[in-house]
Chain A
Amino acid sequence: MAKKLGVLLNTSPEHQNTYTACRLLRSFLEGGHEAELFLMNDGIYNVLRNNSPYRLFGGLEELMNKGLKVSLCLTTGDIRGFGEADFIHGVECRSQDHLADIVAASDYFLHFG
């Protein structure tokens, strides 16, 4: 039976937490399960539109193509000077109430902070 995994990620693209969370999400999705990711603080840098050739990690778009739902805290975007247009297509700009909804709807919830 398919389960739902919720993940809160607070760290930037080059951080070990990000790498671990993305590998875990990939395994979960490839196992036929559902997963949803909420980004806060420096975690929002993982979904910035970025054309740098030195881009460290671009895995989230691929995971979104596998069914990963991604949303972020709009306030942490505002604080860093980013708005909805700065993020890759498909990412929802939400607030803490959406994080609470993800927690309530998930069978498992993990925080990588």
Chain B
Amino acid sequence: MSEAATQIQADQELDIRGVVCPITFVKSKLTLERMQSGQVLRVLIDYPPSALNVPRSLEHEGHQILGITESEGPLWTLLVRKA
């Protein structure tokens, strides 16, 4: 994730640690559906396949992936801007 992306303030956070595919994508999709266009969602993921799947699928749906970072845990933090 670029330094600029890390400065972005998320409008909402979704913690899907402990959840696996396809529910990780479903929860992300449903959360974005309740948000306004242009708002930013931060998603916390700890299931490795979802760290690949969720951004890929959200991008296919037209949303903008601002970045994803991996930290200890492992934990992935995904920032996505709603289309």
List chain A positions with a Cβ less than 8 A from chain B.
8, 40, 73-76, 78-79, 95-100
Contact = CB atoms under 8 A, between A and B. Distances in A.
Interface in B19-60: 21-22, 24-26, 29, 49, 52-54, 56-58, 60
- For chain B, the bracket of interface size reads 10 to 19
Contacts, number: 42
A93 to B, nearest CB: 11
Contacts of A74: 56
Nearest to B51: A75
Contact of B25 (A76, A78, A97): A97
A75 B53 contact: yes
Contacts of A75: 21, 49, 52-53, 56
B21 A40 contact: yes
